[in-house]
A = this chain, B = another copy of it.
Amino acid sequence: MSVEDRLAALETRLRTAEDQLEIIRLLSSYGPMVDSGSGKEAADLWIEGGGYNFSGGLSGGMTMRAPQELIGMYETEGHMGLVSTGVSHLTATPQITINGDEAKAVGYSFVVLREGERWFLWRAAINHWTLVRTPKGWKIKERFNRALNGSEDSLETMRKALP
């Protein structure tokens, strides 16, 4: 291979590695934001118009849109009650697939909530994120989240990790 070809190959491969690290960083930023009541910053992890669809609770399986509906949700008494109790919205490192300027990620998330001197798993869910590269870096386009209860849509979401 010529020097030019080797440089071009390195640049492309490195960008894919950086993309994965940036997406891991993005998803790891979500918890500390929502758990400290920083709803505006959390909603800004999505593109404008991006969606968050989760079963149960405030969404009930409807898609909420960034930024305004998400900010509204993070400002509710319900959410702020979690914040003052002590909570972690934990995103486990997911399976990430980069495809040019789009990416998908499939993985688990948990809501860990304090109860007296202990913490417990208030929610465990599977997620499918669609992400897009923007001038401001990677952002979430859609997040689809289903609680782990054996439902067909939770299992279908997990199967998005199949090759």
| Contact residues, A77-129 vs B (CB, 8 A) | 83-88, 90, 92-96, 106-108, 110, 112, 114, 118-124, 126
Of the listed stretches A13-21, A46-54, A61-69, name the one at the interface; the rest are far from the partner chain.
Answer: A13-21
9 additional A-B pairs beyond A90-B108, A114-B149, beta carbons within 8 Å, are A13-B18, A29-B95, A31-B107, A32-B108, A32-B160, A86-B148, A88-B126, A110-B112, A120-B121
Task: Return the contact of A120 from the options B21, B85, B95, B118 (Cβ within 8 A).
Answer: B118
Task: Return the contact of A150 from the options B24, B84, B120 (Cβ within 8 A).
Answer: B84
Query: How many residues on chain A are close to B (CB under 8 Å)?
Result: 63
Q: Quick one: copies of this chain in the complex?
A: 3
Chain A residues engaging chain B, CB cutoff 8 angstroms:
3, 6-7, 10-11, 13-14, 17-18, 20-21, 24-25, 28-29, 31-33, 35-38, 41, 83-88, 90, 92-96, 106-108, 110, 112, 114, 118-124, 126, 147-151, 154-156, 158-163
Q: Which residues of B contact A10 (CB under 8 A)?
A: 7, 10-11, 14
Cα distance A147–B84 in the bound complex, in angstroms = 12
A118 adjacent to B122 (CB under 8 Å): yes
Residue picked from A11, A14, A32, A123, most chain B C-beta under 10 Å: A32
Cα distance A89–B156 in the bound complex, in angstroms = 16
Cα distance A36–B153 in the bound complex, in angstroms = 10
Q: Which residues of B contact A25 (CB under 8 A)?
A: 20, 95-96
Q: Which residues of B contact A161 (CB under 8 A)?
A: 29, 32-33
Task: Return the contact of A83 from the options B35, B37, B150 (Cβ within 8 A).
Answer: B150
